[in-house]
Amino acid sequence: MTQTAQAPNAPTKTILRALAGEKQAVPPIWMMRQAGRYLPEYKATRAQAGDFLSLCYTPELAAEVTLQPLRRFQFDAAILFADILLIGQALGAKLWFAEGEGPRMSTVTSRAQVAALKPAQDVHEVLSPIYETLRILTRELPRDTTLIGFAGAPWTVATYMTAGRGTKDQGPAHAFMQADREGFSMLIDALTDATIEYLSAQISAGAEVVKLFDSWAGSLKGADFDDFALQPTATIIAALKARHPGIPIIAFPREAGDRYIGFAKATGADCVALDNSVSADWAAAHVQVDGCVQGNLAPKYMVEGGAELVTETKRIVKTFGNGPHIFNLGHGITPDAKPENVLRMIEAVRG
């Protein structure tokens, strides 16, 4: 027996090893929105589906677009193709995507409307095709690739459900919160319960990791951040870990700034995803000290390319090189990005 023999249950996939706290000479890589409009094959499959929601709800096509980036790039993970707003639809809100404009939803702005939402255990009726997508992927993914499921965090989903669309300042959600804090908390609680059901079913269908996207966490300050970003995340993580012992969870409180500090400890997350508004030096000193971090190259480099793309990528890898790290962008890749820049990024990471 050698001293270096791995524990019998130690993970072998690179992403799972990072999430278990292992520092690796070359960090594993995947990319937010890695299946998306910067790929011509994505646009073709989306056209075949007819519209974005049909793509999300047709398991064979959703699995196909999930796999497309893996045929071009050697990513260490695949992320389920779906959207964070589907849960609102599963709770009874109307959801549609206005071509070229983004999501639209019917609005929930009062306690009575929150009370009229469906109960959490009913979300599976609408969301079952998503679980089928995951089951297909468990059969078709390359064996070393980790399958990531996801949901929006309650606050971020609530910002769309109150406004009926994306907003710059999340004004309608803040207005509901200010007018009736208890009523707004009921919405957050309903989303928290539904998200536990949804992610738990994703894990049962084959997701090996789940990620919570709190894209608008940065607009919550002080006690509002504690009550509506941190606490719901902690509740979801505790419930998932009770039902699925050992399931690794990535939290992404985007633009949380100083509130990134201690977020993993306070919520039980195994990894905190960093947006590109925080510097890697700062995050290594203040966030990675608690465990795995993911991030955080600015998505603009996937558009601009050039020598800076390589220097920035190498700088981030080096800065997080003393601890567990999953290389990623700080936010989703944009439709104007060039696939050849993704290749250059991967080469720069792997040296």
Residues near ligand CP3 (CB under 6 A) = 32-37, 46, 52, 79, 81, 83-85, 102-103, 150, 166, 213, 215, 332
Is 37 an active-site residue? yes
Amino acid at 61: L
Task: Give the integer Cα–Cα distance in Å for 94 and 107.
Answer: 8
Nearest approach, Cβ of residue 208 and ligand CP3 (Å): 15
Choice among 33, 254, 259, 344 that is catalytic: 33
Query: Do the bridges between strand 95-98 and strand 77-79 make them parallel or antiparallel, or are there none, so unpaired?
Result: unpaired
Is 160 an active-site residue? yes
Nearest approach, Cβ of residue 123 and ligand CP3 (Å): 17
Other C-beta atoms lying within 10 Å of the C-beta of residue 13 = 18
Q: Kindly state the tokens that stand for 143.
A: 């064996």
Nearer to ligand CP3, 46 or 325 (CB): 46
Decide: helix, strand or coil at residue 212. Answer: strand
Choice among 17, 38, 42, 46 that is catalytic: 46
Is 83 an active-site residue? yes
User: H or E element: which one contains 132?
Assistant: helix 124-140
Query: Do the bridges between strand 102-105 and strand 95-98 make them parallel or antiparallel, or are there none, so unpaired?
Result: antiparallel
Nearer to ligand CP3, 81 or 184 (CB): 81
Q: Kindly state the tokens that stand for 24.
A: 């690796």
Closest residue by Cα to residue 325 from 272, 266, 281: 272
Choice among 42, 131, 160, 301 that is catalytic: 160
Nearest approach, Cβ of residue 321 and ligand CP3 (Å): 25
Nearer to ligand CP3, 124 or 165 (CB): 165
Nearer to ligand CP3, 278 or 284 (CB): 278
Choice among 38, 42, 57, 83 that is catalytic: 83
Query: CB-hemisphere CA count at 13 Å for 341?
Result: 27
Nearest approach, Cβ of residue 65 and ligand CP3 (Å): 8
Catalytically annotated residues: 33, 37, 46, 83, 160
